[in-house]
């Protein structure tokens, strides 16, 4: 298991750089090593902090200090509470949309509008229980979802290995809500799926050196219990850093 890197820590919380491939917590069905296992081993006193879940047998699944999650294949900044008081304080900030998150993603294609906002509710996909949808193929409860995006750089590759001449955009995203797969779903809705997204763009090849989802939680900004502002930036992992060199 690739271990998280601690970017910041005090008595109330820590901010980590989560590696791609590491799931945050167990689904109760598999025994896969996850971020919560690492947290309990490194910080045994925070084992019961937060809101534990239960597996199908009714056994408790501890989620120590987990206030928010990143998808398995998403890397980057993630805040963990070390006390219940801090957990409740951070949870309230997330609910009130006072936590500012910045993501970088590499997506397929070039945008006509280089800056914009996707304000589209998200529901379950009609076609695949693993997926969510912001379009007419959604079902069930539709939950508000808003994502701001901005194109940072663009590239078009001249490569004989492709049937078409592919173009890509490096974007910055600010999810104003925290829905599951939100950035991935909204980019798919705009017809600019995230590179390496096998769930929402299964027919797209792996490109630019990405063997996983090209999505990185670049920074997170919030206030600590004392009211002080904390903003932490997560360095790019190797695959992301290598891909960015192509955007000149």
What residues act catalytically?
71
Q: Sort strands 100-108 and 215-223 into parallel, antiparallel or unpaired.
A: antiparallel
Query: Which tokens belong to 115?
Result: 């800056």
Q: Sort strands 215-223 and 53-54 into parallel, antiparallel or unpaired.
A: unpaired
- Separation CA 19–CA 202 (nearest Å): 22
- Separation CA 198–CA 75 (nearest Å): 16
Query: Which tokens belong to 56?
Result: 């199908």
- Separation CA 103–CA 215 (nearest Å): 7
Residues 229, 220 contacting (CB under 8 angstroms): no
């Amino acid at each position: 298991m690739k271990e998280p890197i601690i970017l910041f820590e005090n008595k109330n919380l820590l901010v980590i750089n989560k590696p791609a491939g590491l799931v945050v917590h167990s689904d109760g069905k598999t025994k896969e090593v996850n971020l919560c296992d690492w947290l309990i081993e490194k910080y045994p006193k925070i084992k019961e902090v937060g809101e534990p879940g239960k597996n199908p047998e009714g056994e408790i699944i501890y989620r120590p200090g987990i206030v928010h999650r990143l998808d398995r294949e998403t890397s980057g900044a993630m805040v963990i509470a070390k006390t219940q008081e801090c957990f409740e304080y951070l949870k309230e900030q997330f609910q009130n949309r006072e936590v500012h998150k910045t993501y970088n993603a590499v997506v397929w294609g070039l945008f006509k509008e280089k800056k914009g906002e996707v304000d589209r509710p998200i529901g379950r996909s009609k076609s695949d229980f693993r997926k969510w949808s912001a379009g007419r193929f959604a079902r069930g409860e539709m939950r508000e979802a808003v994502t701001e995006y901005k194109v940072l750089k663009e590239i078009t590759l001249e490569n004989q290995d492709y049937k078409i001449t592919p173009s890509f955009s490096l974007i910055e995203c600010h999810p104003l809500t925290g829905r599951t797969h939100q950035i991935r779903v909204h980019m798919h809705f705009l017809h600019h799926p995230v590179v390496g997204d096998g769930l929402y763009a299964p027919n797209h090849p792996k490109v630019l050196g990405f063997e996983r989802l090209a999505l990185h939680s670049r920074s997170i900004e919030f206030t600590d219990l004392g009211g002080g502002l904390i903003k932490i930036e997560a360095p790019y992992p190797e695959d992301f850093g290598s891909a960015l060199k192509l955007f000149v």
